[in-house]
Structure 1
Amino acid sequence: MDFESVFAAVARVIEGAGVVIMTIGLAAVLLRYVYDLFRQGAGSYRDLRVNLGRVILLGLEILIVGDIVRTIIVETSVESVLVLGLIVVIRTVLSFALEVEISGSWPWQQGRTDQSDAA
């Protein structure tokens, strides 16, 4: 087993972990929502969206790590680097959009929002 095949397997494991985290996270978030529906008579749709968004963000970050490992170590070509750049840009835009959905403000506005709430 050579160096590249080891890291190809590592990249697959990392990507698989991202998918597993999103799958298990989805199940946990939905189970929590159903539990809240039966316990309180009404589940919080906002909590469902926020928690689901967090699960997706975590999964996306792990998938990016897998893509980086695969591109840098396994598939080192200009084309694969360009594809990685495009994937990272798309996932970063997705992450920002999810963050805005979760918190209601841009990530760089968090400090000002928290400070104004404290005053």
Structure 2
Amino acid sequence: MDLKPVIEMAGQAVDMAGVAVIVVGALVATCRFGYRLLLRRPAQDAYQGYRKGLGRAILLGLEFLVAADIIRTVAISPTFTSVGVLAVIVLVRTFLSFSLEVELEGRWPWRPPAAG
């Protein structure tokens, strides 16, 4: 039995899930932002909540996309070239995730959260 088509479909499914997470997360964050503005909350608070919601959706979506790349590359065509390309993709996406996390939290990951 050839598992290659099954693994390819699994990779595509995880890819689609990652895109769906980003799209749905962006829609939810945008709706919440609009709702907060309608409630006449301070624009700065609404904006900060919007950024955090959107950033979290992107972070989670990136995790799914990295998983899909790993599934397809390692399980289907594990050549030195494809593994090298995977390494670069994972490195770039990891840097993006790290940057977003620092931006959302406002501190380095190894620093303890502010008291209060």
TM-score (norm 1): 0.90
CA RMSD of aligned residues (A): 1.4
How many residues matched? 114
Q: 4+ runs of 1 displaced by more than 4 Å?
A: none
Q: Which runs of 5+ in 1 are unaligned?
A: none
1:22 alignment partner in structure 2:
22
Shift of 1:40: 2.3
- 1:76 is aligned to 2:78: yes
Identity of aligned residues (%): 39
1:35 alignment partner in structure 2:
35
Could you report, residue by residue, the CA deviation over 1:44-87 in whole angstroms, capped at 9, with x for unpaired residues?
A: 11111111111000000010000000011112111110000000
- Contact between 1:96 and 1:106, CA under 8 Å: does it hold in 2? no
CA distance in 2, matches of 1:64, 1:82: 14
2:10 alignment partner in structure 1:
10
Structure (1/2) with the larger helix percentage: 1
Could you report, residue by residue, the CA deviation over 1:8-38 in whole angstroms, capped at 9, with x for unpaired residues?
A: 0100000000001100110010011001111
1:1-119 alignment, distance < 5 Å: 2-43=2-43, 44-109=46-111, 112-114=112-114, 117=115
Aligned residue identity for 1:29: A
Q: Which runs of 5+ in 2 are unaligned?
A: none
